[in-house]
Amino acid sequence: MSDPTTSSSGPVQPENEAVEPATYETGSKAPADSALPNWLVSLPETLRPYAALARLDRPIGTWLVMLPALASLAYTRINTGFFWIDIWWDALIVIGAVTMRGAACTWNDIQDRDFDAEVARTANRPLPAGDVTVTQAYIFLGLQVFIAFIAWLCIPFDAKIVALLALPLIAAYPFMKRVTWWPQIWLGFTINWGVLVAAAMATHVSFGTVLLYLGFAAWTVGYDTIYAMQDREDDALIGVKSTARLLGEQTILGAFCFYLSAAAFFGGAVAANGATRLGALTVIAFFGHAIWQIYKMNQDDDHALMVFKSNAWAALILVAGFTLTAII
């Protein structure tokens, strides 16, 4: 199964990029699914495998963790306006997104190292390639969690409790693709947990925030279903389940239905917060981007990676719209 943060068989290279992965000076290779192979190999030799474990060479996953939380913080300020403390909350959201996304990817790679070794595009990842040992990966995992823990200490008590509730979701995620055809739903609830944490940091988790969270979860199922289309053949060979395999020829239609559901939840969220005009325009703009994604996918399935990455802009639409609404 594929997903933006903890995929067992990551995205294929775009057609305009070299198929051969970049080569380390030592002779080992960067992961074939690295989005920034040249940057990765420019790092000091000892740091490269750890950067790959944390997916620092694939920043789109960090954006997709961070932006929903930032949108949630702006959403909670629609009725009150922003406060100076929000700059601090934003900084903690960024730190938490980078470290916990990296920790989740490291944890996933530890659990999926045997799967990754069987897929050409992931065989050069640090664990199956032998660039790091399982023990070293666990140590690196602990370091990332420790940095996230420092950030966790700085947030309000209610937000601390909400954040802790995400740990079982993160821990169980790598195993979902082995037991259910709908691991994308679990991913949606997991990757967007920061929406609830950000609301608890600013004020509290309201009914509108829950609708916002459900909207982001549905959106994640949609874009990760598109993402997983790239890996259907490999996933079938190694026995990994996904919505892309389940839906088959109806995958694009299924992704559209989840985007439509996301827009409906977002619409309910802005209505619950009284942001009728600018909030509605924001949701319309988001859904317009979703329609463009489906249009591109109907043209050519090879657009899957490009369409998936464009979801950073979809999330930015919500961040900008909610921020503007809170300011006005």
Residue 8: which pLDDT band, with cuts at 50, 70 and 90? very low
Alpha-carbon gap, residue 208 to 72, rounded angstroms: 10
Mean pLDDT of the chain: 88
Residue 10: which pLDDT band, with cuts at 50, 70 and 90? very low
Domains of the chain, by residue range, sit at 37-327
Q: What is the pLDDT of residues 102-141, one digit of tens each?
A: 999 999 999 988 877 777 667 788 898 888 999 999 999 9
- The HSE-up count of residue 228 (CA atoms within 13 Å, CB side) is 35
What SS3 state is found at 19?
A: coil
Task: Give the model's pLDDT for residue 263.
Answer: 97
Alpha-carbon gap, residue 242 to 254, rounded angstroms: 12
- The HSE-up count of residue 184 (CA atoms within 13 Å, CB side) is 30
Alpha-carbon gap, residue 138 to 53, rounded angstroms: 11
Nearest one of 299, 292, 297 to 229, comparing CA atoms:
297
Vertex 145: Cα angle to 152 and 41 (nearest 5) = 125
CATH topology of domain 37-327: Tetracycline Repressor; domain 2 (1.10.357)
Strands (E), 84-132: none
Taking the CB of residue 24, how many other CB atoms lie within 10 A of it? 18
- Check residues 152 and 303 and name the one with the higher pLDDT: 152
Q: What is the pTM of this model?
A: 0.88
Looking at the DSSP bridge assignments, the partners of residue 149 are none
Q: What is the pLDDT of residues 241-290, one digit of tens each?
A: 899 999 988 999 999 999 999 999 999 999 999 887 899 999 999 999 99
Alpha-carbon gap, residue 295 to 299, rounded angstroms: 6
Taking the CB of residue 35, how many other CB atoms lie within 10 A of it? 20
Alpha-carbon gap, residue 245 to 241, rounded angstroms: 7
Note whether 160 and 152 are within 8 A (CB).
Answer: yes
Task: Give the model's pLDDT for residue 19.
Answer: 39
141 burial via Cβ count (<10 Å: 0-12, 13-18, 19+):
buried
Residue 296: which pLDDT band, with cuts at 50, 70 and 90? very high
Alpha-carbon gap, residue 291 to 303, rounded angstroms: 14
